[in-house]
Amino acid sequence: MIVGAYEYRCFANKGKILRVIEVLKEYRKLAKIISNLQWEAFFKTGKFNKYLKLKSIHSNLSERWKQTCQWQVVSVLESFIGNIQNKFKEIVLNSNLNEETKQYLLAINKNKDWFNSDIKYDNEIKKLARKIFKHILSRWNLPSFKHINLHLDSKVAVVEENEKSRAFDRWIKLSTLEKGKPIFLPLQNNTYAEQLEGELLNFCQISVEKDTLIVKLIKKLKDKKKEYIPKTEKIALDVGLNPLFAVNTGDLFGRNFIDYLKKLDEKITKRISSLQKKGIKPSQDMKYVKLVKRLSNFLQNEINRYINRIVELYKPREIVIEKLDFRSPDLSKRMNRLLSNFGKRFINEKLNRLKEIYGIQIVEINPAYTSQTCSSCGYVDIKNRKNTQEFECKACGKKINAQVNGARNILARRSCKDVKIYYSKKQILQILIKRYLERLKGCNSAPLDIVRSNPYFKDYLDDFLNPAVVENKRL
Ligand SMILES: [Zn+2]
């Protein structure tokens, strides 16, 4: 099942927020108690149990709340166990144990049978499995539940559409500490989430940040792998700021993207300098936090919108992209840092979604020198890039939009077997230079003067111009 969590703006007043905070405090205490019971059960029976009887626990929250809490606790613990399993496997595979023992241990680990007394393995093997398990456990912190948020199902929170008034779109009917006195949290639709094909589940996540409620609803998204028929084999995207995306075909998406960022950057920079004068930390300032939120919303919307349009237009089987580096000399340092954090996250999230929903392959390539290499003749020169937008090859004279040139190099690198993703920049430069010189050999009108003045070529040119010297060196 493909699910996404989407934030819906919540308009709860102060009184309601305080009541949610009360619930949250109790909920966290309860979670801690339940997790202790779960660990007890785990070491006794080998399993966590979503249906443990909880009547004896003293809490201000109702039995329904206890059940909901228990589900959340168990799912947190299960994913923690998943991490232990990975570590266990790694330890066993890297150990000096004999093959047979390794196989038994891996089987126990795979079936989560470390503490299952019914399994029929040799006692020594069982002991060893438990020892490794406890060794890992002793080195890791157990999930603490001190800071968990509310992940709620319909036992305690019902999400309903608001058909009566236009003031808001939905509400959550949430039970509280007082029996029979639920509160209603009004929500505004998330337009992006609403237009996604699928259905909202009766499930919500509520957290408290700086005395406001962050509410997320969970949507089950439609799997479209079967109906998606690719019409292009591969496209490459160059990610930048002006435009946001360039495709190897020459199409540009998001050309006015940077203008809005510049405006926002001015506001943020102004705010920061005023805060610095007053000695206030930016994270403590509501206005700054709101500006950053606005930036993040803007980025997410633009990224999703343009990637959707690109997919619609090309219907690619595969998207090739470079490891991202969002930066612009036209923006402040702080803005560049924010962009790089948010931008990477949103693009990766969106691409993962495309993979889940449509089955589109996403391939990352090594980005070194894709912006300085001519996609036409292969010449690498820092001077090829006139500015952030124009590319003009010093060797062959090709003029092209800088990001389209980048996208073409990204596509070419996809099928280039000798450049690996983990290579250093230096290794890649070496490959590109050698390849270019190789091509230059058969050509009479080689632009040697240009190559001579290019520092990238310095170490290679002697060998190239005087093959005899190389021969002598070898002798
Ligand atoms: Zn060129």
At 305-345, the pLDDT tens digits run 999 999 999 999 999 998 676 777 888 999 989 888 888 88
pLDDT value for 466? 66
Residue 192 or 213, more confident = 213
Cβ pair 397, 377 in contact under 8 A: no
Pairing state between β 399-401 and 390-392: antiparallel
pLDDT value for 468? 54
Span 62-82, mean pLDDT? 96
In angstroms, the CA 399 to CA 239 distance is 19
Distance 469 CA to ligand 1 centre (A): 29
Residue 468 or 46, more confident = 46
Distance 387 CA to ligand 1 centre (A): 16
Q: How confident is the model at residue 461 (pLDDT cuts 50, 70, 90)?
A: confident
pLDDT value for 467? 59
Distance 399 CA to ligand 1 centre (A): 9
Q: Tell whether the model's pLDDT for residue 180 goes beyond 50.
A: yes
The pLDDT tens digits for 100-117 are: 999 999 999 999 999 988
Closest by CA position to 261, among listed 286, 295, 291, 301: 295
The pLDDT tens digits for 11-26 are: 999 999 999 999 999 9
Distance 398 CA to ligand 1 centre (A): 5
Share of the chain above pLDDT 70, in %: 96
Residue 256 or 40, more confident = 40
Domains in the chain with CATH codes = 14-139 (no CATH), 151-221 (no CATH), 232-365 (3.30.420), 382-474 (no CATH)
The pLDDT tens digits for 376-405 are: 999 999 999 888 789 999 988 999 999 999
Q: Tell whether the model's pLDDT for residue 444 goes beyond 60.
A: no
The pLDDT tens digits for 184-198 are: 999 999 888 888 889
Span 93-103, mean pLDDT? 92
In angstroms, the CA 304 to CA 350 distance is 7
Span 78-105, mean pLDDT? 93
Six token digits for residue 175? 């039970």
pLDDT value for 475? 42
pLDDT mean across residues, the chain: 90
- 63-67, 179-183, 417-421: which is most confident: 63-67
Distance 375 CA to ligand 1 centre (A): 7
Cβ pair 427, 433 in contact under 8 A: no
Distance 425 CA to ligand 1 centre (A): 20
Q: CB-based burial of residue 40 (10 Å sphere; 0-12 exposed, 13-18 middle, 19+ buried)?
A: exposed
Q: Which residue has the tokens 């996540």?
A: 205
Span 206-214, mean pLDDT? 89
Span 269-297, mean pLDDT? 91
Biggest distance spanned by C-alpha atoms of the chain: 94
Q: Tell whether the model's pLDDT for residue 473 goes beyond 50.
A: no
Share of the chain above pLDDT 90, in %: 69
Measured distance between the N- and C-terminal CA atoms of the chain, rounded to whole angstroms: 66
Span 252-262, mean pLDDT? 91
Q: Tell whether the model's pLDDT for residue 474 goes beyond 80.
A: no
Distance 253 CA to ligand 1 centre (A): 25
Distance 395 CA to ligand 1 centre (A): 5
